[in-house]
A = this chain, B = another copy of it.
Amino acid sequence: MKLDDTDREILRMLQADARTPFSEIARRIDMSSATVHDRVGRMEEAGVIEGYHATVDPKAVGYGVRALVGLRVEQGREEDALGRLREIEGVRAIHLTTGEWDVILRVVAEDTDSLRELMFEGIADMDGFSRSQTMIVLGTDYEADGPPI
């Protein structure tokens, strides 16, 4: 789908705040809210807008620790290994990467104890991985909600 500048402006506003009323968006881009409605619908349809999500503070729901976990996967075990990772609740993202690691996970855990459990009873111990490294996130200096628009 081809996006024009108006579409991008709408995306930018909805990315910043998914609850911005169409009427407010319409006012800012000087068009009718029916047009905004129409464009948003088409962008949803086309998959440009993948969804709308509330951002929840992980600490508030009991997850105090974030980490990135680098993994080396043994040859030929990829599918099986990834499938099992996906079943683990604390595993929030599974990226296949170039460089030092085959896979990098983004994980959350309640505390360092439960992270240790996740790693040493959950992941590092799994068949199919030959090496792992846990990089605990001490803090996040900056985090944007999506791509620049």
Known: A56-B11, A99-B135, A133-B100. A82 touches B51 (CB 8 A): no
A69 to chain B, nearest CB (A): 10
Question: A99 touching B134 by the CB < 8 A rule?
Answer: yes
With contacts A15-B55, A58-B146, A96-B139 known, what are 5 further pairs, Cβ within 8 A?
A8-B61, A48-B60, A54-B146, A56-B146, A95-B139
30 CB-based A-B contacts, threshold 8 Å: A3-B61, A11-B61, A16-B53, A18-B19, A18-B52, A18-B54, A49-B56, A51-B54, A53-B146, A55-B146, A58-B146, A63-B148, A68-B97, A68-B104, A85-B142, A92-B144, A92-B146, A93-B140, A93-B143, A93-B144, A95-B141, A96-B139, A96-B140, A97-B137, A98-B138, A99-B133, A99-B136, A101-B135, A108-B147, A108-B148
CA separation between A47 and B60, bound complex, in Å? 8
Contacts of A85 in B (CB 8 A): 141-142
- Number of this chain's copies in the complex: 2
**8 Å CB contact of A61 from B68, B93, B95, B149:** B149
Interface residues of A (CB under 8 A from B): 1, 3, 8, 11, 14-19, 46-58, 60-61, 63, 66, 68, 82, 85-86, 89-101, 103-104, 108, 133-149
